[in-house]
Amino acid sequence: MTGQAGTDRVLIEQADGVMTLTLNRPDKKNALTRAMYKALAEAIESADADPAVRCILIQANGDMFTAGNDLSDFAEVAAGDGAATQAREGGNPLLMALGRSKTPLVAAVHGRAVGIGVTMLLHCDLVYVAEDALLTTPFVNLALVPEAASSILLPARIGHARAFAMFVLGEAVNGATAAEWGLANAAVPAGEVRAKALAAARAVAARPPSAVAITRALMRDAGAIAAQMQREFGHFSAQLKSPEAREAFAAFAEKRAPDFSKAAT
Ligand code: COA
C-alpha cells in the first residue's frame, strides 16, 4: 500500500510497511515549528495504532537534517508571549510520542543535525548518517538544558565526558565519529544515506512484528524515559524564560555572538 498525507512541512508516505516522515522546510534548514512537532507526533501515534505500519523512517529534504527547534518559537516564549507559552505547556508532543512509541524508528541524517535533531536519534533504533554530517547539541550555548531524556540517554550511549562536551561546549561530532561512538549504526557517503536507511527500514518491516515490538520494548525503559523528560521539561521551561536565554535568542536574530557576562547565576 502507498499513501501520502501530512502538512507541506512534514511529508508522510506509506509503502511496504514503512511510514516515511520527511522534514520539508529546507528554506529554514528544517527548523522545527510547533505545527511540525504536532504533525510528526500524530504520524508516530497513527503508526502505533496501524498494524500495517511496521517501521517508521525519518529523513529530511534540503541540505541538512534539521537546525533544531525554531528559534523564533523559543524567542516568543522567552519574551513572555502568552499563547506561545501556553502552547508549550505539557511538553513537546514529538518528544512525548517518541518516548511512548511502539513502532521501530530508523533515521537517515545528512548535513547538520542540531539540538532535537540529535536527541531524537536517541529514540531511533537504527541510525544512518552521512560521513560528513555534523551533529551538535548546543543547548547550553542557548542558555537551555538537554531534553528528550538525552541527559541520561546520551551519556549512557557515548559516555559522560563526550556527552558533556556536546551539551556544554556545543562540540560538533561528524558522521564518522558518530558511528564510531555508537550514536549511529553506520556512516556512509551522503548520497547513499537515504537508500541505506530505507533498506534497513524495509528489513525491519519484513521481520515478525510481535517479536520486533517485544524486543524493542524490552530494550527501552519507557517509564524512566518519560520521568526524565518531565524532569528536564521543568528546567527547560524555566530556562527558556531566563534573561540569559533572551540574550541568546536576540543574538541569533541579530546575527551576533551572545554576551552572557552580565548573567546572574
Ligand atoms: N530556527 C529558526 N530559523 C532558523 C533556524 C532555527 N533553528 N536555523 C536556521 N534558521 C533560518 C535562518 O534564520 C535563516 O533564515 P533567513 O534566510 O530568513 O535569514 C535560514 O534558516 C538559513 O539559515 P542560515 O543560518 O543562513 O544557514 P547556514 O547554513 O549558514 O547555518 C545553521 C545553518 C544550522 C548552522 C544555523 O542556521 C544555526 O546555527 N541555526 C540555529 C541552530 C540552533 O541553535 N538550533 C536550536 C538548537 S536547541
Is residue 195 in a domain? no
pLDDT of residue 79: 84
- Ranking 38-47, 72-81, 119-128, 197-206 by mean pLDDT, the lowest is 72-81
Tell me if 197 is assigned to some domain.
no
Range of the domain at 155: 2-190+205-262
The pLDDT, as a whole number, for residue 116 is 98
CB count within 10 Å of CB 197 equals 27
Q: Which of 23, 25, 28, 29 to mutate to test the pocket of ligand 1 (most atoms within 8 A of CB)?
A: 29
Does 199 reside within a domain? no
pLDDT at 5 over 60: no
Amino acid occupying residue 137: T
- Residue 171 resides in a domain: yes
Contact 60, 194 (CB under 8 A): no
Contact 57, 16 (CB under 8 A): no
Grid coordinates standing for 39?
Answer: 504533525
User: For position 117, which CATH number holds?
Assistant: 3.90.226.10
| Ligand 1 atom nearest 71 alpha carbon | 1
Give the pLDDT mean for 86-90: 77
Flag whether pLDDT at 147 surpasses 60.
yes
Mean pLDDT of 195-209: 98
* d(CA 215, ligand 1 centre) in Å: 38
Residue 110 maps to a domain: yes
Task: Determine, yes or no, domain membership for 26.
Answer: yes
Q: Is 90 exceeded by the pLDDT of residue 83?
A: no
For β-strands 126-130 and 173-174, DSSP reports them as: unpaired
Give me the pLDDT at residue 4, please: 47
Q: Residue of the nearest CA to atom 39 in ligand 1?
A: 67
**Count of the separate structural domains present in the chain:** 1
Question: How many residues make up the chain in this entry?
Answer: 265
Give SS3 for 67: coil
| Position 233 in a domain | yes
112 ligand 1 Cβ < 6 A = yes
Q: pLDDT band at 138, cuts 50/70/90?
A: very high
Structure confidence by residue, pLDDT tens digits, 42-62: 999 999 999 999 999 999 999
Q: Is residue 196 part of a domain?
A: no
pLDDT band at 85 (very low <50, low <70, confident <90, very high): confident
Over 70: is that where the pLDDT of 2 sits?
A: no
C-beta separation of 134 from 183 below 8 A: no
